[in-house]
Chains A and B, each alone.
Chain A
Amino acid sequence: MSIDKDTARRVAHLARIEVAEDALEGLAAELSGILGFMEQLMEVDVDGVEPMTSVTPLDLPRRADQVTDGNKQADILRNAPDAREGFFAVPKVVE
């Protein structure tokens, strides 16, 4: 599978990483190389094999419905690049 420039642009946007237009060709080539390496997987006969979902055969632990956390607004906000009046502030989102 080879990745073209448009696909590279789409993937970069999907991942929300700004890539300059003139860097897209290079990126496409790099990603194609890595995907080429993964092509080996196509050789494996995986018929009837279940995809792994958890490497350890455990049951999902469940916790009781108790309020044990929260009320730490200062901790939540203290690393924020822009916090105002108890909120995180971000550039305006248009719907």
Chain B
Amino acid sequence: MTELSYTEPKPKVIAGSVDDWELVVGMEVHAQVKSDSKLFSGASTQFGAEPNSNVSLVDAAMPGMLPVINEYCVEQAVRTGLGLQADINLFSQFDRKNYFYPDLPQGYQISQLYHPIVGEGEILVDMEPGVARKVRVERIHLEQDAGKSIHDMDPEMSFVDLNRTGVALMEIVSRPDIRGPEEAAEYVRKLRQILRYLDTCDGNMQEGSMRADVNVSVCKKGQYEKFRETGDFSHLGTRCEIKNMNSMRFIQAAIDYEARRQIAILEDGGSIDQETRLYDPTKGETRSMRSKEEAHDYRYFPCPDLLPLTIEQEWVDRIRAGLPELPDEKKARFVTDYKMTEYDAGVLTAETANATFFEEVAKGRDGKQAANWVINDLFGRLNKEGLSVDATPVGAAQLGSILDLIAKGDISGKIAKDLFEIVWAEGGNPAEIVEARGMRQVTDTGAIEAAVEEVIAANPDKASNAVQKPSMAGWFVGQVMKATGGKANPKAVNEIVRAKLGI
């Protein structure tokens, strides 16, 4: 595999009134596992169903109900681990995390505290071409999602829907290696991209398929390096956890706010309370969570309804063999194989669907030209219309055919743009459209010569001036193009104009 080389981004520095401060951020991302049924029950994971309809007796924690694990969810966690170059633990175990909440029917969440299924891995967070940071992943564990409490349907009551209860989540826990708000957003973006490549999470943040708890602290310059040397967290300052963020923009804003809040307190001689906070996007502030004020004591212990989970190396190897090409690999390959910039490669590999589309267009054609067309013409247009590549009106075969027409010299670049518009609006086979609408460019030199001679004959003054001033040739080319309805091959016209004018 080709690897690109990177330099590390600089940590974000915030100037306080006294000192400069650096940021330290760690993330716990909860990613909903893409599966048909729930982690421990056979109810559907489908989003948006009638309340309490995708609920089994197990999910509702009816007396005597017992969990049975969904093998595919385990496979998805293993796949995710492999995609993050992480260690897969052949022995793992489920623990109960005990707390009371109306949308937690069992009174405990089945999770993995002591023996998670996935160990140490890493994520390369790209900041700009040539600049990226390897963020270490501490662990990934499988756990149950909670249900949903709705607080705004009644003035006195909260309403509970258990449809989401028991859906499998992967909690992906990073080391505190993220050094600024932008990096944090990029970390989530990259993680989302990898999960979507692996097809282990749909990454739909609006629907809550990915949510992040963000740990933020601030420290003086040099402290982070001390932490990396010693592993001693005390160098990093006291952290606050901002819960349940599901937008990259808000993550960025919340971290920035929270860091400044902490700096102000510290410079004022105060100290930071380790606590859980919520981000209020309308105010742009974080605030302490009242209900979480009391110290939580989750009383974790191994879930006695489940035996330890032992998986086979052979199974892991088979999952590994089936892994798709991942973003970093694909990007490096695009840069090498298609001679494109890292930036373009980044755009084209943002989503598997984009990359696949591009490669279909580029196959057997000029990669660089294909990249330009895909990025500028197609993606630009899709973006404007708010469409994804799956919904493109111009298919890869159609776009490829347009590129072929240019390559063959049947149409000019300019005509190609018109052709693209026609295909976008009406569909159809580009080659047939060119024929049917007489868009083929004129390469018959006789016809072009006649047209050139006609223009020269009509403008003798300009023709004689052009001998002194060769840039006048452009004017003649324009006239000829106009006379031929744009269909003349501009290169041929240019050559003939120059020859006839004697320049």
A interface, CB within 8 angstroms of B: 14, 16, 53-54, 56, 58-73, 75-77, 82, 84-95
Q: Which of A56, A63, A71, A92 contacts B157 (CB 8 A)?
A: A92
Which residues, 284 to 327 on B, are CB-close (under 8 Å) to A?
289-291, 297, 299, 302, 306-310
Q: Interface size class for chain B?
A: 35 or more
A-B contact count (CB 8 A): 138
* Complex-state Cα separation, A80 to B42, whole angstroms: 22
How far does the Cβ of A63 sit from chain B's closest Cβ, in whole Å?
Answer: 5
Q: Which of A14, A53, A63, A85 contacts B308 (CB 8 A)?
A: A53
B71, A62: Cβ atoms closer than 8 Å:
yes
B71, A64: Cβ atoms closer than 8 Å:
yes
Q: Across the interface, which residues of A come within 8 angstroms of B156, CB to CB?
A: 91-92
A69, B43: Cβ atoms closer than 8 Å:
yes
How far does the Cβ of B395 sit from chain A's closest Cβ, in whole Å?
Answer: 32
Q: Across the interface, which residues of A come within 8 angstroms of B41, CB to CB?
A: 69
Q: Answer whether A87 and B308 are a contact pair too, CB < 8 Å, given A70-B43, A75-B57, A92-B156.
A: no
Most buried by A among B37, B73, B162: B37
Q: Answer whether A88 and B70 are a contact pair too, CB < 8 Å, given A60-B307, A67-B37.
A: no
Which residues, 137 to 152 on B, are CB-close (under 8 Å) to A?
149-151
Q: Across the interface, which residues of B come within 8 angstroms of A76, CB to CB?
A: 52, 55, 57, 60, 162
B289, A86: Cβ atoms closer than 8 Å:
no
A70, B100: Cβ atoms closer than 8 Å:
no
A70, B68: Cβ atoms closer than 8 Å:
no
* Complex-state Cα separation, A87 to B50, whole angstroms: 10
Q: Is B56 an interface residue (CB 8 A)?
A: yes
B44, A70: Cβ atoms closer than 8 Å:
yes
Q: Is B367 an interface residue (CB 8 A)?
A: no
Q: Which residue of A lies closest to B163 (CB)?
A: A70
Which residues, 1 to 54 on B, are CB-close (under 8 Å) to A?
35-37, 41-44, 50-54
Q: Answer whether A89 and B302 are a contact pair too, CB < 8 Å, given A70-B44, A72-B55.
A: no
Q: Which of B58, B157, B308 contacts A54 (CB 8 A)?
A: B308
How far does the Cβ of A78 sit from chain B's closest Cβ, in whole Å?
Answer: 11
* Complex-state Cα separation, A61 to B60, whole angstroms: 22
Q: Is B409 an interface residue (CB 8 A)?
A: no
Q: Is B74 an interface residue (CB 8 A)?
A: yes
Which residues, 156 to 190 on B, are CB-close (under 8 Å) to A?
156-162
B69, A88: Cβ atoms closer than 8 Å:
no
